[in-house]
Structure 1
Amino acid sequence: MSALKIKTGDTVKVIAGKDKDKEGKVLKVDVKNHKVLVEGINMVVKHAKPSAANQQGGIVNKEAFIDASNVMLLHNGKATRVGFKMDGDKKVRVAKATGEVIDK
């Protein structure tokens, strides 16, 4: 499997699914299953039992993972594909739309 082009902390735009055209920050990346957890995207309802951490229990709204292929990285406010390039001896991400280096 190729390297995942989305990292934790990136701002992404959803390009497919029920939350299409919404934007959010990546909270977690699951490289093995090729999925990302995005803030405020793919909200699901969970029924939680009362526990020590959650005394009340009840219905909880939380984010669920979304496939990484359904999001695009936002660079300078514009959705772009991501490529890789060698910058000296360091591998860096590059925005395909502009050719700019994303992470220094």
Structure 2
Amino acid sequence: MNSLHVKKGDRVKVVAGKDKGLVGEIIAVYPEANKVTVQGVNVVKRHVRETATPQGKKVEGGIISSEAPIHASNVQLVVKVDGEEVVTRIGHERREVTKRRPDGTEYPAFRSVRIAKKTGEEI
């Protein structure tokens, strides 16, 4: 399985393409296609036909605007530094944590965390 440098809910800035410079939140991630859907970015219009559901309700037709996925390499994570939003790359670090077994005993283990390269802080 592929993993991306960003996750659903991350605030990102578009760094390439027709929407370059826009900032938005990721609303969907497609790791198998290396794509993400960002709120308010790459908005496309679809012509939808009026249809009926099996229960007999009508689904409204017309021209509907929605976000289309963009390639994950065209977005960069945005973090706050001194109240200002800046773009940063992402690194990974293994941190030691204490885990607890079902019988109550504790043991040391490692967990991978995402790190903002500009600030060094955990995301």
Question: Aligned to 2:65, what secondary structure does the other structure show?
Answer: strand
Correspondences of 1:58-73 after superposition (within 5 Å): 58-73=62-77
Number of matched pairs: 102
Percent identity reads: 44
Q: Which has the higher strand share?
A: 2
Q: TM-score, normalised by structure 2?
A: 0.78
Alignment pair present for 1:34 and 2:38: no
Deviant stretches of 4+, over 6 Å:
none
Q: Which residue is 1:84 aligned to?
A: 92
Structure with higher RCO (Cα < 8 A, 6+ apart)? 1
Q: Is the 8 A contact 2:2 2:32 kept in 1?
A: no
Letter in 1 for 2:23: E
Letter in 2 for 1:70: N
Alignment pair present for 1:100 and 2:121: yes
Q: What is the Cα-based RMSD across aligned positions, in Å?
A: 1.5
- Write out per-residue CA displacement over residues 2-46 of structure 1, whole angstroms, 9 at most, x where no aligned residue: 631100000000000111010000000000001000000000010
Correspondences of 1:38-49 after superposition (within 5 Å): 38-49=38-49
Pick from 74, 77, 80 the counterpart of residue 78 of structure 2.
Answer: 74
Letter in 2 for 1:90: R
CA distance in 1, matches of 2:77, 2:91: 11
Q: Is the 8 A contact 2:39 2:67 kept in 1?
A: yes
Structure 2 alignment gaps of length 5 or more = 97-109
Q: TM-score, normalised by structure 1?
A: 0.91
